[in-house]
Amino acid sequence: MTHAKILSLPRGQFWNFATRTPISIWLCIIWIAAIVIVGATAQWIAPFDYLQQSPLARFALPGALPGHLLGTDYLGRDVLSNLFAAIQMTLMIAFAGSVICLLIGTILGFLAAHFGGWVDNLIMGFADAMQSVPFIIVALGVLAFFGSNPLLFVLLAGIYNWWRYARLTRGLVLGANEDGYAEAARIVGVPSWRIYLRHILPNIAGPLVVQLTVNYPELILLESGLSFLGLGIQPPSTSLGLMVADGRNYLAIAWWLAAFPGVVLVFTTLSISLLGDYLRDRLDARLR
């Protein structure tokens, strides 16, 4: 059920929809909404500049200093301000990478289903090759050779798991082509591109959105893992993975440096994954 349909429901039907949705899913939605709001407004709601240093206030406990709700780090920087900036960077990379990945995979899936033959074999063969190689190895090699910067990181994220979208789109398009509405449109002379954009794409959008919710937390973890290894986002920029990597060196004396970004990582990826599973159950007619 789309957002527009939910808003157009009468109060009684909306209440039924709300009560049928598990409380765990509502908690996931609330957490995701809060994280998105923080990421979109980080520079305005942060109490300090995340790069502002105060050597005399190093390793302050959470709440020990006025205004430093989550304490300070080894340079006296406000952890909460750093956390807001890290959330913004991580979400931006994951979102941009997910959109690029969705576009590449969907377009290649349509091309494979439309042309078939050697085009289909070429695209699916390339997808098999990409699937057989662990992407983390490819990313490590590229970042180690070319160096790390946000643009390169987004481009790497954009080719991560594109083959899943391509395979999914190809199968859905082949199935839709066998339905009556697509064949009827062809008989009356509607161009193929119009059939794909106006008729088939809206009908297969649900599974693609579900796949996006599955891919998004994977990209968050990919960025965090590479940043943790020192090949992702580099200072003075920050990300959740980089905050965890910096904080691991001070776990014995300043646990909060790694704990808070780690909690945000776990809750965010878990919430998106649970929401994706729920949407899959609701949108996939075969599972219903």
288 residues of the chain, pLDDT tens digit each: 444 444 444 555 556 656 777 888 899 999 999 999 999 999 999 999 998 988 888 999 998 888 889 999 999 999 999 999 999 999 988 888 888 999 999 999 999 988 888 998 999 998 888 888 887 788 878 877 877 777 887 888 788 788 889 998 998 888 877 776 776 777 777 777 777 788 788 888 888 888 888 888 888 888 888 888 777 788 888 889 889 988 888 988 999 999 999 999 999 999 998 888 888 777 655 445
Structurally, at CATH architecture level, domain 95-288 sits in Orthogonal Bundle (1.10)
Q: Residue 57 in contact with residue 66, Cβ under 8 Å?
A: no
Q: pLDDT at position 12, please?
A: 53
Which of 227, 228, 223, 236 lies closest to 49, judged by CA? 236
Q: Cis peptide before 62, with omega less than 30 degrees from 0?
A: no
Calpha distance 282→135 (Å, rounded): 31
Any residues with CB less than 8 A from the CB of 102 and at least 6 apart, and which? 165, 208, 211, 212, 215
Strand, coil or helix: 159:
coil
What pTM was estimated for this model as a whole?
0.83
- Collapse the DSSP code of 41 into the 3-class scheme (helix H, G, I; strand E, B; otherwise coil) and give the result: coil
Q: pLDDT tens for residues 236-267?
A: 888 898 899 888 889 889 999 999 999 999 99
Burial class (CB in 10 A: 0-12, 13-18, 19+), 23: exposed
**16-28: pLDDT as tens digits:** 656 777 888 899 9
Task: Confirm if 94 and 156 have CB atoms less than 8 A apart.
Answer: no
